[in-house]
Structure 1
Amino acid sequence: MKIVVLDDYQRVARDYGDFGALPEADVDVRHEHLDPTELIAALSDAEVVVAMRERTPFPAEVFERLPRLRLLVTTGMNNAAIDLEAAAAHGVTVSGTAMYGATKSSNTAELTWALILACRRHVVTEDRALRDGRWQTTIGTDLAGSTLGVLGLGRMGTQVARIGQAFDMRVTAWSENLTEQRAAEAGATLVSREELFAGSDVLTIHLKLSERTTGLVGPAELAAMKPSAVLINTSRGPIVDESALVAALIAGRIAGAGLDVYGVEPLPLGNPLRGAPRTVLLPHLGYVTERSLRGMYEQVVEDIAAWQAGAPVRVLAAPA
């Protein structure tokens, strides 16, 4: 059985997942991202493919060109880059993994706060200045007494909101179906979407990517923000209109942005975000911790073993 593991950038798949326990498994681990022209050739004889999050799209045309493929395992229990209807039509089982093994981790929430603090206290700028021989080149902004706006108050947004309270911030929140009671349970105040953008000193995004949320943060929303505010996105890149964000940063309409996600990943060398001022840019590290990756790869092996035994687990299916 040929198994191809995609996008193991950190080179830990074999250490964290016991692929050797799978009978008659020929495992090919790819450490570099494959572009579409390379993908089909690399997977042509694979019966099982392991995808890392949404790095590699699997639309209908990919399934059509991989007739040997029978199991696609994705890390995480949601993957917008996989056409589940097409997978089913081509006889491919799709299984997922609980993102953080058996525990609920706050690793993306922790990284969100790393970006918030880096932006508000100019950590990257001061680090570079110090290495260049300069001393105290910026003035930081206090979090205490300021307003944290949370766009999307689900599990991750709630974790971020509670940390905001520990910094003595006023926490506001909005999402389409959020209620006052649910917001209050997270220590936040429900406000309108317009109020969220206009009143936040730090606006952080924690929404799932969908047709409804794609481009949700666009020119009008960025224009409504305070010139002193920063935007943080550790959710999904396409929720923010990147061109509008770059324009807002260059024009000084917002004070900065901390980003861990992008419309195209890895972020292309020529992307204007790379040269945008007052930004802290990370390469989608929200879930990249030892506990998270270990839990993922352990469950990848469980998924493959269960499928081999004829009883697949954590099966993902298209909505009815």
Structure 2
Amino acid sequence: MKILIPEYIDPRSLQRLRAEHEVVFDSTLWERRADLVSSARDAHAIIVRARTQVKGELLDAMEYCRAVGRLGVGLDNIDVQTCQARGIEIIPAIGGNARSVAEYVVTCALMLLRYSHYSVGGALADGNWIRPAIPEGREVAGRTIGLVGFGSIGQLTGRLASRLDMRVVAHDPSLRELPANDFECQLLPLDDLLASSDIVSLHLPLTPATRGLIDASRLALMQPDAVLVNAARGGIVDEKALADALAQRRLRAAALDVFDEEPLPGGTALSGTPNLLLTPHIAGVTADSESRVGELVSDRILALLKSIA
């Protein structure tokens, strides 16, 4: 059977797939829509990351497709409803990059609470001894981390934070009660969480209900000394409102790994914003997580194709 892979996949997973099936792999194919559609016509499975849009003409062309593997967890680039209607199984790598994202969030929290003590660029090495007259940095022990979304990544982030003696609170409208965990956590309404947390970390999918969720009014609820981390999906945070809050010192600092538009173009509202850490959608991307993600998706793709052979 034929497996189409138009984006990067871990080489070891690629080798496994090629050992059992015909595999068409081109990590730049997602950029060439016409070639992608043509290659997909006789594919029995497609494995994608976040850039391939599995919808519209591409999905229409995949007459023989039985599975869409997603090397990640977000599904906003996949027409889930149409796939389900056609009996196409969607296979995300749930849990595969959870550790990487959780470590990113905790690292950002540690850095941002102490951001004034870090040298940016070569200033310190050039002899500019930048040290505040009054200590400004904060320790995380005893601080409250608020997790907006409490799925597998949110729970692991809470576990790591608790090991650093942070208090953990969470908001997740899909939960009526907390899942069993080995750390204490309190469920709060969103506005109460924002008002009481020293660190707010987002762990939500992008849906019509979550788009613009953290807007100017919600940012205004946060403590002036709090930090915000978004390693979930762009569009959840109002970027202009966040830039304004940081520029006006109504928020201590923020870290964004995801954006309304990716790749992030120049000249957005975020350009020149103080106390803002930007990374190019890499929170869940490490050599370790890539190996796990590739294996998780490959295992299930191979099992599914074997079951229909």
TM range (shorter): 0.7 to 0.9
Match of 2:200 among 190, 198, 203: 203
Counterpart pick for 2:105 among 108, 112, 129: 112
Q: Alignment length, in residue pairs?
A: 301
CA contact (8 A) 2:47 2:70 kept: yes
Call closer, same or farther: CA 1:164–1:82 in 2, change over 3 Å. same
Q: Distance in 1 between matches of 2:243 and 2:213?
A: 16
What fraction of aligned residue pairs are identical, expressed as a percent? 32
1:13 pairs with 2:6 = no
Q: Normalised by the size of structure 1, how large is the TM-score?
A: 0.79
Of 111-120 and 243-252, more deviation after overlay is shown by: 243-252
In the superposition, relative to structure 1, how do residues 186 and 238 fare at CA in structure 2: closer, same or farther (>3 Å)? farther
Distance 2:177 2:297 in 1: 39
Contact 1:72 1:92 in 2 (8 A): no
Is the Cα–Cα contact under 8 Å of residues 60 and 86 in structure 1 kept in the other structure?
no
| Mapped pair 1:126 → 2:119 | yes
Q: Secondary structure at the match of 2:235?
A: helix
> 2:20 is aligned with what amino acid?
L
1:71 and 1:154 map into 2 onto residues whose CA distance is: 24
Q: How far off its partner does 1:310 sit?
A: 4.7
Partner of 2:39, secondary structure, is: coil
Shift of 1:237: 1.8
- 1:181-192 correspondence to structure 2 within 5 Å: 186-192=183-189
Do structure 1's residue 83 and structure 2's residue 76 form an aligned pair?
no
Relative contact order higher in (CA < 8 Å, ≥ 6 apart): 1
Residue by residue, what CA displacement relative to the aligned partner does 1:282-318 show, whole Å, maximum 9, x if unpaired? Answer: 2222321223212322344444444543538xxxxxx
In structure 2, the partner of 1:40 is 34
Q: What is the CA RMSD across the aligned residues, in angstroms? A: 3.2
Q: Report the equivalent of 1:317.
A: none
TM-score of the two chains, using structure 2 as the length reference: 0.82
Quick check: 1:124–1:280 contact (8 Å CA) kept in 2?
no
Offset at residue 162 of structure 1 (A)? 3.0
Asked if the contact 2:98/2:152 (under 8 Å) is kept, the reply is no
Instruction: State whether residues 6 and 36 of structure 2, in contact with CA within 8 Å, keep that contact through their aligned partners in structure 1.
Output: no
Unaligned runs of 5+ in 1: 313-320
**How far apart are the structure 1 equivalents of 2:164 and 2:299?**
41
Are the aligned partners of 1:4 and 1:50 in contact in 2 as well (CA < 8 Å)? yes
Alignment of 1:1-320 (within 5 A): 3-8=3-8, 13-17=10-14, 18-23=16-21, 25-31=22-28, 34=31, 38-46=32-40, 47=43, 48-52=45-49, 54-64=50-60, 71-76=67-72, 79-87=75-83, 93-100=88-95, 106-122=99-115, 125-128=118-121, 129-137=123-131, 139-178=136-175, 186-311=183-308
Q: SS at the partner of 2:282? A: coil
